[in-house]
Chains A and B, each alone.
Chain A
Amino acid sequence: MSKRPEHQAPPELFYNEDEARKYTQNSRIIDIQAQMTERCLELLLLPEDTPCLLLDIGCGSGLSGSVLEESGHMWIGLDISPSMLDVALERETEGDLILADMGEGVPFKAGSFDGAVSVSALQWLFNADKKSHQPIKRLYKFFSSLYASLSRSARAVFQFYPENESQLDLVTSQAMKAGFYGGVVIDYPNSAKAKKFFLVLMTGGAAPLPQALGTEESDNSLQVKYARREASKAARGKPLKNTRAWLLEKKERRRKQGKETKPDTKYTGRKRSGRF
């Protein structure tokens, strides 16, 4: 059986009391959620030092909401799982909570919010959990009602886990159809673990997409990339193991994956002196 939660049960059943409890007790989950929310806030580009009203879609136990509160914003959260919302009540978050299904549309009047964030929720919309569910229709309904509920020049940032290329295409095409501009920003694309997808949607005019993290290499034009590839081919693949060149390459690879790596110095890869 697949490990993806979306394949196991509908969200309102999957996030039962046991699953919801993980979101208060498991410090790893809490850390990751907080980090991703911080990145979402960064991508939202809100005006500095201005308290805003934000919408949190799939707020769950309010972990993302706590991050929004710390930055001085007020938030209203939507979620489909009553158990998760119960945990949010227990945690006494400042935001207001609403039990709703995002696929049925965002139930707010026009121009209500200065921005919207969503952490690990959007992938649930790709599933048809009931006979009446049509993912494309639900995605469109969601994006068009969200577009209406945002104020002009507001942004919406979704961190999500697309299963494949076609889901990415589907989600961006439906968002564009609803009137949004924008696209997907992929942080740390070279890493299996740190790789994260952010759908950045903008209302009111196209603007350049923000730079993804861990992609300094890809700034250069394609030609440079190919030139480098040719050069490395000329060097007959990997350098000899346990040499300084090999070590430097390994460190570079780890940097690309967004892992913590010590800086390169003149001491890197040196042999210890005989005294040791």
Chain B
Amino acid sequence: MKLITHNMLTSKCLKGVLTGYPLAINATNIKINEVDFNPDFISRIIPKLDWEVLWKAADSIGHSEGLPQTIEQNYDDDKEFLKKAHRVLLEVEVEEGYLICPESGRQFPITKGIPNMLLTEAEVQ
């Protein structure tokens, strides 16, 4: 699971959970997977992200190095910044571990990099 996905993912499908965001990450295995750098995509996606959540997620798995806590105004031109954002968003992958719902504490296991968001009958709204 890439951190871009984590930034979008919620547990709001659980019964009784309102926002279910952000999910906490407990990672036991992290992999770096090289991906082609596309500055257009990164600068387009940044306004959609919750940067604070991204920084905290990166920090919790020990990959926040060099990443600013807040975004500067004209980040489009800052190639260094975009490269760092690219690395954190697309290259760092959580291979094994689990996600934790902030409201219910329900754990979603991540195996082979795929989070299992399937619910049981009783958990469906």
Residues of A near any B CB (own CB < 8 A): 50-53, 72, 74, 76, 80, 82, 85-86, 89, 94, 96-101, 104-109, 111-113, 130, 132, 141, 145, 149, 151
Stretch touching chain A among B4-12, B54-62, B64-72, B76-84: B4-12
Give the size category of B's interface with A: 20 to 34
Given contacts A99-B115, A109-B10, whether A141 and B125 have CB atoms under 8 Å apart is yes
Q: Which residues in A have their C-beta under 8 angstroms from that of B4? A: 53, 74, 76, 96
Given contacts A94-B35, A105-B125, whether A145 and B13 have CB atoms under 8 Å apart is yes
**Contact: B117 with A98, CB < 8 Å?**
yes
**Contact: A85 with B8, CB < 8 Å?**
no
Given contacts A107-B12, A130-B121, whether A99 and B114 have CB atoms under 8 Å apart is yes
Residues of B near any A CB (own CB < 8 A): 1-2, 4-5, 8-13, 19-21, 35, 38, 40-41, 44-45, 48, 50, 90, 112-119, 121, 124-125
Given contacts A96-B2, A100-B117, A107-B13, whether A89 and B112 have CB atoms under 8 Å apart is yes
**Contact: A105 with B118, CB < 8 Å?**
no
| Alpha-carbon distance A132/B124, docked complex (angstroms) | 10
**Contact: A112 with B8, CB < 8 Å?**
yes
**Contact: B44 with A50, CB < 8 Å?**
yes
Q: Please give the distance in Å from B41's CB to the nearest CB on chain A.
A: 4
- Point out the residue from A97, A99, A108, A141 that lies within 8 Å of B8, measured CB to CB: A108
**Contact: B40 with A105, CB < 8 Å?**
no
9 A-B contact pairs sorted by A residue (CB < 8 Å): A51-B40, A53-B45, A74-B4, A97-B114, A98-B1, A98-B5, A109-B10, A111-B48, A113-B8
